[in-house]
Amino acid sequence: MSTVTVGDSPASAPTPLVRPAYKVTGLRVLRSEWAKMWSLRSTWITLGLSLLFLVAFGAIAAADYRSDLGSGRPLEAAEASATALGLSVFGTNFAQLAIGVLGVLATAGEYSTGMIRSTLAAVPRRLPVLWSKAAVFGLVALALSTVGVVVAFLVVGGIVSATPAALPVSHPGVVRSLLGAGLYLGLVGVIGTALGALLRSVAGGISVLVASLMLVPGLVALLPGSWQDDISPYLPSSAGESMFALTHDATALSPSAGLAVFLGWTVLALAGAAHRLVRSDA
């Protein structure tokens, strides 16, 4: 009887792993920037502070007005013309700093840590990174600020009810002013993002932001009156304030003109950031 020996069959060659090809799309870049923004503790803290500033400072201003009104003393000119809307947007001067600083951190922070190299390696075209950062943070700031201003108006309205400053939401211009305040703060966040990408320095971006919104208007106030009337309305802070002011004097811009001027400043900052992002290395 013969025995047939069957040899081992040759081992099959291992199948090479094929990595799926991921295409960089605008939506994926947006999702990436969204995830990065909310992964930072500073985002939650700073946005919470901006919301607190809007509501708390509006309530403090309204309580101070109510106290002065009940004291029997003559009111100052600013207090005599105060309205619930004007008191409720009092906190925008403080909230704009928190939102603008966070916008600077959203871009300049990546340069300080070196993470920007990984970001640009994943998105070689570069500009989608800037557009996505500005869009994500701008929309978040817009939504949060609008909610904060509306809540502040409701709180202030309850404090100053039955006083000359009381103002219903149905009053002409109130809704437009509330939405304008939220839009203004959202655009401040976009400008902060652009300054961070343009200067690539947290300290430098914050310095330019504070100077543009707070220091330059003070310096312009030292100029002769005729010069002030020609320059002041077109400053970022003055143009932004006209977006949510209920009434306007002869030297102030209309809400639509103020929006156009402030959008111009925003586009200018984004254009400078885009130019440097494309022309220079990270």
Look at residue 21 and tell me if it is in a domain. Answer: no
Look at residue 11 and tell me if it is in a domain. Answer: no
Tell me, what's the pLDDT at 131?
94
Tell me, what's the pLDDT at 244?
93
Nearest-angstrom CA–CA distance, 156 and 150 = 10
Tell me, what's the pLDDT at 16?
57
**What's the pTM value of the predicted model, to 2 decimals?**
0.88
Spell out the residues 6+ positions from residue 116 whose beta carbon is closer than 8 angstroms to its own: 110, 282
Tell me, what's the pLDDT at 98?
94
Q: Give me the number of domains the chain comprises.
A: 1
Tell me, what's the pLDDT at 17?
54
Tell me, what's the pLDDT at 81?
78
Answer yes or no: are the C-beta atoms of 179 and 146 closer than 8 Å. yes
Regions of the chain short of the pLDDT cut 50: 1, 6-7
Look at residue 19 and tell me if it is in a domain. Answer: no
Tell me, what's the pLDDT at 270?
97
Tell me, what's the pLDDT at 3?
52
Look at residue 15 and tell me if it is in a domain. Answer: no
Tell me, what's the pLDDT at 1?
45
Tell me, what's the pLDDT at 22?
58
Torsion angle of alpha carbons 126, 129, 131, 135, nearest 10°? 180
Look at residue 13 and tell me if it is in a domain. Answer: no
Nearest-angstrom CA–CA distance, 243 and 222 = 24
Look at residue 17 and tell me if it is in a domain. Answer: no
Residue with tokens 């004291």: 71
Tell me, what's the pLDDT at 121?
85
Tell me, what's the pLDDT at 85?
93
Tell me, what's the pLDDT at 77?
67
Tell me, what's the pLDDT at 274?
95
Tell me, what's the pLDDT at 11?
53
Look at residue 7 and tell me if it is in a domain. Answer: no
Look at residue 180 and tell me if it is in a domain. Answer: yes
Supply the range of the domain harboring residue 119: 26-279
Tell me, what's the pLDDT at 66?
87
Nearest-angstrom CA–CA distance, 64 and 240 = 25
